[in-house]
A = this chain, B = another copy of it.
Amino acid sequence: MRFPVRTAFYISDGTGITAEVFGHALLSLFPAEFDHITIPFVETEEIALQVKQRINDRYKTTGVRPLVFQTFVDDKLRLIINSSEGSCYDFLNAFVEPMQKELGLSAMPKTHRTHSIHEKTYDFRIDAVNFALANDDGSNLKDYAKADIILVGVSRSGKTPTSLYLALQYGIKAANYPFVPEDLDHLKLPAELRQHKNKLFGLTITPERLSQIREQRRPGSKYASLRQCKLELDEVEALYQRERMAYLNSTHLSIEEISAKIMAQTGLKRQKY
């Protein structure tokens, strides 16, 4: 017997990002595979009715009831989707009532749009992205005074993606500085870094994983060899400890986890909440 894959719909009048996060968090609890379909910007009853039809059709063709994660605030649209034959999870609605009671306030649906533009935080984030790009890979030492944080580490230890994520997610201005092999004999902190020592945050990684990553970039090179990776990492970790710098090992962490740990460890104030 064929075991049909269940479809998960993420539906919203906005980007659908909240519906996705909400649905993923729930689905990740279950040991099963799902087909995923996001339908963002469902802003009219006409489109909502088409989406309802699409859910019902999917039920018919697959023989299993689709799961529907939705984050509408508009009652008419919400109810159209909930009247589909899907199994609907309507989390905003489930919590609005108790929260209204707790706050002694009425919800004002019009202000919904979690991921829409907020002039102030928008500029912070674009500025932070531009800062990260201008200060990537040690390219611009003189801007360090403006940095919220300076990530340091050897090549391919995760500095660049982390600095971009910190910018986009939190509006944090992160510079990054690579320790290159020439620096690595009896590694000392360069003067440009030393004067901003309170902003430094070190990344490290296991030699095995680093070698694997570098191997993809320059196969068979000295740069990618386990020996070279080990040598570089031994030096930077000794430096982190000698200088009592905050650092973390990124080997088993996602970009989100590295960033959240950095935020928690440093107590950095994010520009976006």
**A residues near B, CB below 8 A?**
6, 14-18, 20-22, 24-26, 28-32, 36, 38-41, 65, 67, 71, 73, 87, 89, 91-92, 94-96, 98-99, 102-103, 105, 107-109, 111-118, 122, 125-126, 129-130, 133, 136, 160-161, 164-165, 168, 252-257, 259-261, 263-264, 273
Contact = CB atoms under 8 A, between A and B. Distances in A.
A41 B261 contact: yes
A14 B260 CA distance: 9
State the number of copies, please.
2
B41 A103 contact: no
A36 to B, nearest CB: 4
Given A29-B92, A92-B25, A36 B256 contact: no
7 interchain residue pairs of minimum CB distance = A15-B260, A115-B256, A29-B107, A117-B254, A21-B21, A36-B273, A18-B25
B161 A30 contact: no
A36 B112 CA distance: 18
Contact of A257 (B65, B116, B252, B263): B116
A264 B20 CA distance: 14
Contact of A105 (B31, B36, B71, B263): B31
Contacts of A160: 129-130, 133
B257 A28 contact: no
A107 B254 contact: no
A268 to B, nearest CB: 11
A103 B32 contact: yes
B264 A107 contact: no
A251 to B, nearest CB: 9
Given A26-B92, A29-B107, A117 B253 contact: yes
A89 B98 CA distance: 9
Contacts of A259: 15
Given A161-B125, A165-B168, A255-B125, A40 B107 contact: no
B24 A22 contact: no
A254 B25 contact: no
Contacts of A29: 73, 92, 96, 99, 107-109, 111-112
A204 to B, nearest CB: 16
